[in-house]
């Protein structure tokens, strides 16, 4: 078994694309694909589901992902030990989380968590909410950071998984500002519907937008202009003026501060999210245990029902 096969496999698991993974490994795609096939042949199971795009790990691949990471870490530790250096052990914490949290909130959190946990580093598995939960349950991540709402709850067996609330924030509609005015207005009209920038169907964020629009204070007139799984893509499309879309408040904060976008409606067009941290009680290492202990002791300020500072003038909200 070639050690490189494990590194290739983890690269592919990270990006879900053979071409991109081969590029990160400085390899041609045919050679990269052959090494993945050799690993599968050596293990006697298929690790990659090639019937879908983007590619996904099979159930066996999800189980093997953490094992492969552990083997690589053990080899790194072994090399450090023989050179008389302290081993890092398993003090690298792997987080599964939505892209929006990875970009907007995690960098600040890690400033504190790095010191609290004594971890040597972190690894981020950023995806949509569903895939983040799946990665954690499959054992690919030590800690799950995820949005939660009572109407779309994230349920993991409390006997198996510890859950701690760590923050809260609004999920709001936003619109680009052009010459001081919102580019579009809620709720639209039958004659002039607004372009909706929405999340892909059956995603957590997409279902939340559906729930908001179903209970909106006024009939909604919209047409779907753009669609994406990623809050970062939704954000960029809103900033570029392509329509109205919903974002976690933290993901929109910088663009709001810069005057590029503004909330398109008040709290009747918004829902509060709680952000939870989950960990598997049966396989939490010392660093993760220190992190969860810190989070349990940290006070959480839950959202007060107040209007955002600047509403899109003219919206019927």
pLDDT digits (tens, 9 = 90+) for 131-145: 888 888 888 889 999
The mean per-residue pLDDT over the stretch 280-285 comes to: 85
The domain 1-89 having CATH identifier 3.40.50.2000: the answer here is no
Give me the mean pLDDT over the 138-158 stretch.
89
Nearest to 92 by CA among 65, 112, 74: 74
Contact 286, 142 (CB under 8 A): no
**Contact criterion met (CB below 8 Å) for 56 and 16:** yes
Helices 3-15 and 59-82, packing angle to 10 deg: 130
Q: What is the pLDDT of residue 305?
A: 38
The CATH code of domain 169-272 reads 3.40.190.10
Spatial distance between the Cα atoms of 173 and 275, rounded to a whole number of angstroms: 19
d(CA 272, CA 249): 10
Beta-carbon contacts of 166 under 8 Å, excluding residues fewer than 6 positions away, are: 109, 145, 275, 276, 277, 295, 298, 300
Mean residue pLDDT of the chain comes to: 86
Cα separation values, 215 from 35, 169, 184, 218, 317, Å: 52, 20, 20, 8, 13
How far apart, in whole angstroms, are the C-alpha atoms of residue 228 and residue 200? Answer: 5
Q: What is the pLDDT of residues 39-56, one digit of tens each?
A: 999 999 999 988 877 888
Distance separating alpha carbons of residues 272 and 165, to the nearest angstrom: 13
Q: Between 309 and 163, where is the model more confident?
A: 163
- pTM of full prediction above 0.75: no
Q: Where are the chain's structural domains?
A: 1-89, 169-272
Determine the length of the chain.
317
How far is it, in rounded angstroms, from Cα 41 to Cα 38?
5
């Amino acid at each position: 078994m070639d050690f490189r096969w494990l590194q290739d496999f983890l690269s592919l698991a990270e990006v879900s694309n053979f071409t991109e993974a081969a590029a990160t490994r400085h390899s041609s795609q045919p050679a990269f694909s052959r090494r993945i096939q050799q690993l599968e042949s050596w293990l006697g199971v298929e690790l990659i589901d090639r019937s879908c795009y983007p590619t996904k790990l099979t159930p066996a691949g999800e189980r093997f992902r953490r094992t492969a990471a552990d083997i690589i870490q053990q080899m790194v530790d072994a090399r450090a030990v023989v050179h008389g250096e302290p081993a890092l052990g398993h003090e690298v914490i792997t987080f599964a989380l939505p892209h929006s949290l990875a970009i907007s909130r995690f960098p600040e959190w890690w400033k504190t968590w790095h010191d609290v946990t004594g971890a040597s580093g972190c690894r981020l598995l950023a995806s949509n909410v569903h895939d983040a939960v799946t990665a954690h349950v499959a054992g690919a991540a030590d800690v799950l950071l995820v949005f939660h709402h009572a109407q779309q709850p994230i349920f993991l067996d409390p006997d198996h998984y510890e859950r701690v609330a760590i923050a809260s924030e609004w999920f709001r509609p936003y619109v680009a500002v052009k010459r001081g005015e919102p580019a579009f207005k809620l709720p639209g009209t039958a004659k002039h519907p607004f372009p909706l920038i929405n999340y892909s169907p059956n995603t957590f964020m997409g279902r939340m937008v559906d729930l908001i629009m179903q209970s909106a204070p006024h009939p909604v007139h919209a047409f779907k202009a753009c669609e994406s799984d990623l809050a970062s893509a939704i954000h960029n499309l809103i900033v570029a003026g392509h329509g109205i879309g919903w974002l976690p408040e933290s993901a929109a904060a910088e663009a709001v501060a810069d005057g590029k976008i503004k909330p398109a409606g008040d709290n009747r067009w918004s829902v509060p999210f709680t952000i939870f941290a989950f960990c598997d009680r049966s396989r939490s290492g010392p660093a993760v245990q220190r992190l969860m202990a810190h989070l349990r002791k940290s006070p959480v300020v839950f959202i007060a029902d107040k209007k955002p500072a600047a509403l899109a003038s003219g919206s019927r909200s």
